[in-house]
Amino acid sequence: MKFIDEAAIEVYAGKGGDGVASFRREKFIPKGGPDGGDGGRGGSIYAVADRNINTLIDYRYAHIFRAKKGQNGRGSDCYGKGADDIILRMPVGTVITDRATGNLIVDMASNQQKVLLVKGGSGGLGNLHFKSSTNRAPRQFTQGESGQEFELKLELKVLADVGLLGLPNAGKSTLIRAVSAARPKVADYPFTTLKPNLGVVRVDQNRSFVMADIPGLIEGAAEGAGLGHRFLKHLTRTRLILHMVDMVPLDENIDPVQEAKALVAELSKYDETLYQKPRWLVLNKVDMLPEDRREQICSDFIRKLGWKEKSFAVSALTGKGCKALTYAIMEHLEQKIAEVEG
């Protein structure tokens, strides 16, 4: 299925039903009083976050939603029926903004969170409400209120603690398979991954975090090269980024140090705050390096790159070094949470 993480929708709540003016007409009661009922409420539209939904694709095909009008009131004290509400289910992590102003309406961050998007109009009043001691036969009634309407932007930003950043083929999907139960496709060609995949990494029974595998990024992504850089938005809510590097690229003319620098430059072009996020280096495919020179090659790489943050040498394929990496991540996240909670 195609992965869609942006959509524009229009939502129209239903108008309230009109009230009615009517009088009782019964045999043997020559002048019955007013009996016009109220109109029913118009349908409202709600958004609900649902963790079983992964994309906004439904909103690409159908993007206009109209709740029905409430029924009009009728005679004999009959109230109009309220219209059904519409529930729009969307992935957890969907951010909803007002398209006209750009203002945030809601961040659907938790499963089953329910938010009113547009409220249906109230029903109008029937003439039975207007009866008074001076006016026993009122002809007034009111019309139903209009429903609210909005043009909204839906944007999915996956919620994960840790995100993987790397060139295509770096081994991001292989890593997430090694450390979680997620099973994204792995292949020896670039751009295997076309949508974010989330994996839960369990370090022990009670401690876990969520890792996001996102499509590979290449130099020039800001100008649209490869899949472009829009997938980077899925890293914006992570607390830690792992920059994965393929230490043994297929093309021998490629210098991994230059490539890594170019990737970091893309990141800063995309978003300065993303660039400022804690970022660790993960040197992958070390199983392909000659064992006696492995450490030397890795430390040379780090020195040439001028990397100051933490770094790890792993083999996502054999699992070597992965456990140490996940424990370090877990500790880092726990420390961050402790800092926030003071």
Ligand X SMILES: Nc1nc2c(ncn2[C@@H]2O[C@H](COP(=O)(O)OP(=O)(O)OP(=O)(O)O)[C@@H](O)[C@H]2O)c(=O)[nH]1
Residues that bind ligand X (CB under 6 A): 166, 168-174, 186-188, 190-193, 215-216, 284-285, 287-288, 315-317
Q: Which window, 116-124, 145-153, 172-180, 242-250, contacts Mg ion (CB under 5 A)?
A: 172-180
- Select 65 or 270, whichever has its Cβ closest to ligand X: 270
DSSP state of 307: -
For residue 226, state whether it binds Mg ion (rule: CB under 5 A).
no
Contact 319, 177 (CB under 8 A): no
Report yes or no: 16 and 120 within 8 Å, Cβ to Cβ: yes
For residue 245, the minimal CB distance to Mg ion (Å) is 15
User: Is the CB of 36 or the CB of 196 nearer to Mg ion?
Assistant: 196
- What are phi and psi for residue 264, nearest 5 degrees? -65, -35
Token pair 């081994």: residue:
171
Nearer to Mg ion, 13 or 165 (CB): 165
Tokens of 133: 């001691």
Q: Which does 68 bind (CB under 5 to 8 A by kind): Mg ion, ligand X, none?
A: none
Shortest distance (Å) from residue 221 CB to ligand X: 12
Neighbours of 99 (CB within 10 A): 13
Q: Is 55 in the site for Mg ion (CB under 5 A)?
A: no
Strand 86-90: give its sheet, edge to edge: 86-90, 45-49, 114-118
168: partner contacted, choices Mg ion, ligand X, none (Cβ within 5-8 A by kind): ligand X
State the minimum distance, in angstroms, from the CB of residue 172 to Mg ion.
5
Cβ-based nearer residue to ligand X, 32 or 249: 249
Least distance between Mg ion and beta carbon 57 (Å): 20
Cβ-based nearer residue to Mg ion, 146 or 192: 192
Check: CB of residue 238 under 8 Å from CB of residue 212: yes
Residue 173 contacts Mg ion per CB under 5 A = yes
**Strands, E assignment, the chain:** 6-12, 45-49, 64-66, 86-90, 94-98, 104-108, 114-118, 149-156, 162-166, 197-204, 207-213, 240-246, 279-284, 311-313
Kindly state the smallest distance separating residue 194's Cβ from Mg ion, in Å: 9
Stretch touching Mg ion by CB under 5 A, among 64-72, 166-174, 281-289, 330-338: 166-174
* Residue 69 interacts with, from Mg ion, ligand X, none (CB under 5-8 Å by kind): none
Alpha-carbon distance 153 to 104, whole Å? 10
| Residue 192 vs 311, nearer CB to Mg ion | 192
Site map (CB under 5 A) of Mg ion, residues 189-218, x = contact: ---xx-------------------------
Measure the CA–CA gap between 213 and 165, rounded to whole angstroms: 8
**With respect to Mg ion, which residue has the nearer C-beta, 44 or 193?**
193
Query: Nearest approach, Cβ of 3 to ligand X (angstroms)?
Result: 13
Distance CA 170, CA 141 (A): 70
Contact 58, 17 (CB under 8 A): no
CB of 60 to Mg ion, least distance (A): 24
Distance CA 263, CA 342 (A): 35
- The encoded tokens of residue 89 equal 């289910």
- Compute the least distance from the CB of residue 210 to ligand X, in Å: 17
Q: Which residues bind Mg ion (CB under 5 A)?
A: 173, 192-193
